[in-house]
A and B are shown apart, each in its own frame.
Chain A
């Protein structure tokens, strides 16, 4: 979706605000939000792409006003109800419904180390054919889906060159909505700064974007 989260190339956001010796978490609640997010995803009621999309669904004004982990907290409260881990009444009261069954945590101390080292599955599955070759000129499709996508607006319609084939990954645009993984090749595509930003940009500079097969078309 063309949300406020898609920030590449936006202007007027001000200077970078740097904090020296920044702590990993700024407050106790931030660390709990971070780990609750990981512990609840272990229930497999939703996936990484669903998580990312939920942040994009925040109202733009809320997205810009909230701190990073406040967005995550909103997502947690939304997801636990939406995907049936707790009821709306339980979330509002902070108490389990009388007589409700007690579950066994999906993520325990014993499994937590393993969960942390679980990566995002990819493969070199030869049955999934690449549509493009390294060195080929390609154009990023001009798509404007209402759902989740990882094709930034600033690249749409722009022409670049495939520099690397990263192998096969689940397609976020469908996976976020539980519409199958549609595994496909992901490529590193080089876009020159002048292609993206016009004649005023440095002629030497480039942006490299990792693009799923379905984001690209032949030139």
Chain B
């Protein structure tokens, strides 16, 4: 890998230059406006760097701004955990659908009209009184986009990625999810091209609810497996 070592060193030196240039171009006050994402610091020169890069790519005809806008709109408004919640609610009310979902998730999810990259190879894993499933990607940020949208910052962060596999019960406790010792925890480390969705347990007290009402109870966190779906009275806690 001598070649890639050489490239990475060249690149680092080069990027240092780019960053220095961008900082120099920013007004003196902008460094104050740093955002705090957990313990990571995001310098304010990023907006300038992205603007410069995009305008260059547009000028060279390499990207189409209308296509970029359409993709942002899709990720912000068309995919997201509401899609997954509809899948879960359908599985709760329709035993045949649930059977299909657990046997062939991509086909069952497509029945509800959801399909896009990172979701072709979906596996749905079911939580119950004896088994609790939890999803992570320890190597990067793999996540089932069509049914959950883009992952939250914490899912991509070092604390979650490092501990989900070695201390899943500790992670669950941090999310307020207490498990009895006799419950089996299955952690799905999605480091290949398979994407996992947890089918949470239907909460007590939801027996008379419609599919639509049930979907409103289902949270993103429950479909990652860090939380349970709260009973109706407590819904909205998280």
Contacts and interface: CB of A to CB of B under 8 A. Distances in A.
B18 A122 contact: no
- For the side of the interface on A, what is the size category? 35 or more
B46 A73 contact: yes
B154 A29 contact: no
Given A7-B161, A36-B53, A105-B64, A120 B193 contact: yes
B153 A68 contact: yes
A44 B221 CA distance: 35
B187 A208 contact: yes
B138 A6 contact: yes
Interface string A111-140: 111011111101000000000000000000
B119 A20 contact: no
A116 B74 contact: yes
B94 to A, nearest CB: 25
B200 interface: no
10 contacts: A13-B159, A32-B68, A39-B63, A59-B12, A62-B12, A73-B50, A92-B21, A103-B62, A109-B64, A207-B187
Contacts of B75: 24-25, 31, 34-35
B42 A166 contact: no
Given A150-B192, A206-B184, A108 B42 contact: no
- The 6 tightest CB contacts between A and B, nearest first, are A119-B120, A8-B138, A210-B192, A146-B1, A105-B64, A103-B61
Interface in B144-187: 149-150, 152-154, 156-166, 168-169, 171, 174-175, 181-187
B37 interface: yes
Contacts of A8: 136, 138-139, 161-162, 164-166, 189
B191 A86 contact: no
Given A32-B54, A103-B62, A10 B162 contact: yes
A207 to B, nearest CB: 5
A67 B76 CA distance: 19
B26 interface: no
Interface residues of B, number: 94
A195 to B, nearest CB: 12
B99 interface: no
Contacts, number: 304
Nearest to A211: B192
A182 interface: no
B194 A186 contact: yes
B57 interface: yes
Interface of B: 1, 4, 7-8, 11-12, 14-15, 17-18, 21, 35, 37-42, 46-47, 49-57, 59-64, 66-68, 70-72, 74-76, 80, 115-121, 123, 136, 138-141, 149-150, 152-154, 156-166, 168-169, 171, 174-175, 181-194, 238
A19 interface: yes
A32 B165 contact: no
Given A67-B42, A122-B121, A186-B192, A16 B76 contact: no
Given A68-B141, A88-B14, A96-B56, A209 B70 contact: no
B186 A33 contact: no
Interface in A4-24: 5-11, 13-20, 22, 24
Contacts of A202: 169, 181, 185
Contact of A24 (B66, B80, B141, B191): B80
A205 B186 contact: yes
